[in-house]
Structure 1
Amino acid sequence: MKYYLVAGEASGDLHGANLMKALKIEDADANFRYFGGDKMKAEGGELVKHYADMAFMGFTEVILNLRTIFKNLKACKADILAHQPDVLILIDFPGFNLKIAEFAKQHNIKVCYYISPKIWAWNQKRVLKIKRDVDQMFCILPFEVDFYKKWGMDVHYVGNPLLDEKAQFLPDLAFKESQGLTEQKIIALLPGSRKQEIERLLPDMLSVTESFLDYQFVIAAAPTFTADYYNQFIGSKKVRLVFSQTYNLLHNAHAGLVASGTATLETALFKIPQVVLYRGGAISVGIARLVVKIRFISLVNLIMDRKVVDELIQEDCNAQKIISTLSPLLQGDVRNEMLADYNELGNKMGMAGASERTAKLIVKFLTLPLTN
């Protein structure tokens, strides 16, 4: 069968690649075409557009890049019609993908949505559009099932795909040596994969390095940028860069400063105490504070439904607060309490296998109508 996938950011590329791998097991004749990234490309098929040309963060950034977004939407719709897939698989990225879902439904193309948009956070009435346009929804957060039921929609909880990726991870025993790292304990810096995130958060992260001279700081660098790009922020600071080695970095880290997003959950799964950081455009954040209806921004706290990790947002994301929040995580009771909470988080998330479960359900849906 012909599968058309749309992923618009690094995390979607990762989960899309794992899903493609699982689909190839379920369907020996699987043919892939997609908007995605390098990880999906490694699984075969045809990469139409790279997510690096699609990811824009925040209300203001979206408005400033509307021309590019509309151009990408037009190209995606035209390519889907030309390809005529058996199913369209949309992966998160709701601002773009919900429009693609509506278009596909209008043209009688089956639509599966893997990794639900966070419609429970704001503008919940979007669920009505999902109910109209999406044939099968596959959720990765347990509480999403109950949310959709309140709106009269049955969905599938498949577990979290990050568990799949972590289960496949094999540590590189020579990682420190190959990356020129010392035996000092590592504080990992994960500033995100988007240009806006990096430019807003990395300077704040780097501003505290002189306060932790007994540690070495290492940046998890996104492969879509060059060392020169990061070095303009690093300057003369003794900070190392590692590209495409985030899991090896987390495996060896002692603590982390992490941009809000998927990386907060990955860091928790590796049991690395962390401080979560977020900075957005002033207008974007102002709008978000008016419309967002959740208590937390990090996946760790959202899943646990209580504060496990500190979130330093906007004006709180500054050197003084980062230092005072990070310091207790390096040793002692606060660190041990967070590690204990991580164990509870692991129990809530369950076992690996989200990609396999989702692939089985998609193939079954295409060959025999599903009942929940």
Structure 2
Amino acid sequence: MRLERALSKTDQILLIAGEKSGEEHALSFVPELMKQHPHAHFFGVGGDELSAKGMELLYHLKDFSSWGFTEVIGKIPFYFNALKKIEAEVEKRNAKIAILIDFQDFNMRLAKKLSKKGVKVLYYVAPQAWAWKAWRAKVLEECTHTLFTIIPFEEKWFKDRGVKRVSGISHPLWYHYHQRISDQKLDQTAKPFEKFKESVNLLLLPGSRNFEVSGLLSEYFEAIDILKNDYNLKISMVRSSNVNEKIYEPWLDKVDKIFENEELAHALEEADFAFAASGTVTLTCAIFQVPSVVAYKSSLLNVFIYYTFINYDGPISLANIVHEKVIFPELTHNLATGYNLANSLKQWLTSRDNYETIKTELKKTIHLIDRSGSDIPGQMGEVIKECYGQ
């Protein structure tokens, strides 16, 4: 019955948000699109929050997401079946627009298939072709109507390589947090350097996938044991609902305060420093001006594939990519040890100059990701009008 009602609506729009971060991106513009275009019906891949907004899920993002090359390989049959099903649904519904968010390998394949059928593809969050597979810029020019970029230098990079319709927009985290924070407020709440002799609030952000959380927590607490010899640490941690609770159990009695996913901003407001998994959360740390040490661990096979086939030696954490330099130390693979984590954090705990330098640099973050003149729902809405004649 629900599907019949959905198909009775004229404006069928495919939306693919195959990871939690993709859903968060979608939530920054989809509600406004729905308000502006009440006849639009969104279907595709998403999570509970998009479903609650009225999107019809063909697949839940929990079934869709994967971590690392080895896990992706194991899910290849699933992804091929999903491509076929989604393509068939687009044809059945006569959908004329597809909004594809990040999730690069899957969405690039889907974009090529859909563009051949005349579907206008709006690709939101450009693939990091500047890091590897630069040839994808040509593919994007051929199969996308508009490419939306969220990292400052990307708009020019893609235009220089022939992608004509590129729109640089504010990073979704800007929409989430710019009204919540201000330099003045953060200056008032930041702990003076001399107070670190009394106590240090350290926030643990081990990630949202079982493999990375399991690998990082042991290193985090080894670092904590080292740091406790010299500092009075207050430990807090953000726990992900996507992670098996048993992974956290051995460490819970060593944590003073636990936050859930949705409390990340509050956790950062209380933190002096953080240990963070590589990913979007590093940019959130930078926005809240929390100096962080970034760690990344993966399987031996993933490490081999990375160093063998990916010709990229730049920063991997989003905070460093946005700043176009290393502001947060990055400890990858065998360097992600408790000893190295502790030593990296000490650079700010033992030197006022280092601490004040990083805090000054972090103040730039919210401005670097601000393209507040951009109107994402407006741009996408124009394509909806173009396709459906409203």
TM bucket normalised to smaller: 0.7 to 0.9
SS at match of 1:118: coil
- 1:335 maps to what in 2? 355
Query: 1:56 deviation in Å?
Result: 1.6
Q: Which of 38, 44, 50 is matched with 2:48 structurally?
A: 38
* 1:160-185 Cα shifts (integer Å, max 9, x gaps): 11100113659xxxxxxxxxxxx965
Query: 1:157 deviation in Å?
Result: 0.5
Instruction: Work out whether 1:344 is the aligned partner of 2:361.
Output: no
For normalisation by structure 2, the TM-score amounts to: 0.84
- 1:326 maps to what in 2? 345
Partners of 1:352 and 1:267 lie apart in 2 by: 21
- 2:170 maps to what in 1? 159
- 2:30 maps to what in 1? 20
Specify the code of the residue in structure 2 equivalent to 1:316: L
Q: Which of 112, 118, 135 is matched with 1:125 structurally?
A: 135
Q: Which of 243, 249, 253 is matched with 2:260 structurally?
A: 243
- 1:190 maps to what in 2? 205
Greater Cα offset, 132-141 or 48-57 = 48-57
8 Å contact kept, 2:138–2:162: no
8 Å contact kept, 1:9–1:55: yes
8 Å contact kept, 2:15–2:98: yes
- 1:292 maps to what in 2? 311
**Larger-gyration structure (1/2):** 2
Partners of 1:133 and 1:240 lie apart in 2 by: 48
- 2:190 maps to what in 1? none
- 2:216 maps to what in 1? 201
Partners of 1:204 and 1:158 lie apart in 2 by: 37
- 1:178 maps to what in 2? none
Instruction: Work out whether 1:61 is the aligned partner of 2:79.
Output: no
Query: 1:38 deviation in Å?
Result: 2.3
Change (3 A) 1:367 1:15: same
Instruction: Work out whether 1:312 is the aligned partner of 2:312.
Output: no
Specify the code of the residue in structure 2 equivalent to 1:237: K
Q: How many aligned positions are there? A: 355
* 1:323-368 Cα shifts (integer Å, max 9, x gaps): 00112334622222111111223332225576xx111111112324
Change (3 A) 1:65 1:200: farther
8 Å contact kept, 2:16–2:44: yes
Partners of 1:185 and 1:127 lie apart in 2 by: 45
For normalisation by structure 1, the TM-score amounts to: 0.87
Specify the code of the residue in structure 2 equivalent to 1:349: I
Query: 1:144 deviation in Å?
Result: 0.9
8 Å contact kept, 2:96–2:118: no
Change (3 A) 1:135 1:19: same
Specify the code of the residue in structure 2 equivalent to 1:200: G
SS at match of 2:276: strand
Query: 1:194 deviation in Å?
Result: 2.1
SS at match of 1:302: helix
Specify the code of the residue in structure 1 equivalent to 2:77: R
Partners of 1:63 and 1:226 lie apart in 2 by: 22
Query: 1:322 deviation in Å?
Result: 0.3
- 1:140 maps to what in 2? 150
**CA RMSD in angstroms, aligned pairs only:** 2.4
